[in-house]
Amino acid sequence: MYKERKGKHFIKNPFYEGGLKAMRAFISKNKRYPKQALEEKIEGTVFIKYTINYKGKVIEAKVVKSLGYGCDEEAQRVIRLMKFEAPKNRGIKVKFFKNIQIHFRLPKEKEKTAPPVQSQTSLSYTITPSKKEENPSKPKKGGGYSIQIKY
């Protein structure tokens, strides 16, 4: 007689739908670099501890390691937007605590190059028959034209 095995963990953790890669994509899509941090050219990482309720909603986000210049508030805002899939835990309403790091890196500036100089290039061509037909009543197979292109 085979006895069904129960899961390893008594309580199942909530997860972000699509996994870690999807969560990173969501954060990078919704994160806006704060104007004050951009003016001061501030880069760094904000460490946040957040709480997920039994419905999968982020109910609290607390900054553990601050960066300042508006980055902390922006990181908290983005974390509060996230929605997790919370499995049923035997009828128990459980809060989950998780940590995350939000990285703020200055956007790379594109090299400023001078606009391309527009030159006055003209294209002209002439079509000349390569050989004169000896007998006009007999059509020749294939064309016999040459094209010259002058810049």
In a domain, 44, yes or no: yes
> Mind listing the pLDDT tens digit for each residue in 65-97?
999 999 999 999 999 999 999 988 888 899 999
Express as a percent the part of the chain with pLDDT over 90: 57
Query: How many domains does the structure of the chain reveal?
Result: 1
Say if 53 falls within a structural domain. Answer: yes
Q: How far apart are CA 31 and CA 73, in angstroms?
A: 11
Q: Tell me, yes or no, if the pTM score tops 0.75.
A: no
Q: Would 145 be classed as within a structural domain?
A: no
Residue 38 lies in a domain: yes
Q: Which residues pair with 83 in a beta bridge?
A: 57
- 143 assigned to some structural domain: no
Residue 122: inside a domain, yes or no? Answer: no
Q: What range does the domain containing 26 cover?
A: 19-104
Contact 78, 61 (CB under 8 A): no
Q: Is residue 127 part of a domain?
A: no
Among the listed residues 92, 112, 102, the one whose alpha carbon sits nearest the alpha carbon of residue 72:
102
Q: What is the CATH number of the domain that holds 71?
A: 3.30.2420.10
| Tens-place pLDDT, residues 91-116 | 889 999 999 999 999 988 766 565 55
Whether 30 maps to a domain, the answer reads yes
- C-beta separation of 50 from 79 below 8 A: yes
